[in-house]
Amino acid sequence: DAKTTQPTSMDCAEGRAANLPCNHSTISGNEYVYWYRQIHSQGPQYIIHGLKNNETNEMASLIITEDRKSSTLILPHATLRDTAVYYCIVRKNAGGTSYGKLTFGQGTILTVHP
């Protein structure tokens, strides 16, 4: 799976949008961009994923550049409960010879301040 690069840490004020960048310049055509987050003492939690189109759900929005070499996760109105480690992962979905393993990097520590 392609490697991703994320900033080590970021800060955000409560109520403001948090924009978390991710570089994945070696992504292949059949690889998806996934975002997970891990709140202290919990297991990773799925946020959103996409292939090449922008995606939005109740948690966040995902913006993928046209060349697919980078993406941005947007939390539109960050709250204190959004403080967590955010992982950007490139993954092949299960099927064929792939079983969809997630390979985690170091992630971005997002701290939301009051």
Partner 1 sequence: GAGVSQSPRYKVAKRGQDVALRCDPISGHVSLFWYQQALGQGPEFLTYFQNEAQLDKSGLPSDRFFAERPEGSVSTLKIQRTQQEDSAVYLCASSDYEKLFFGSGTQLSVL
Q: Please report whether residue 50 would count as binding partner 1 according to CB under 8 A.
A: no
Question: Among residues 13 and 94, whose Cβ is nearest to partner 1?
Answer: 94
Alpha-carbon distance of 97 to 20, in angstroms, equals 31
Query: Which of 64, 87, 90, 112: binder of partner 1 (CB under 8 A)?
Result: 87
Least distance to partner 1, CB of residue 26, Å: 18
Alpha-carbon distance of 11 to 109, in angstroms, equals 8
Q: Which two tokens stand for residue 92?
A: 């092949």
Query: Which of 10, 49, 63, 111: binder of partner 1 (CB under 8 A)?
Result: 49
Residue type, 18: A
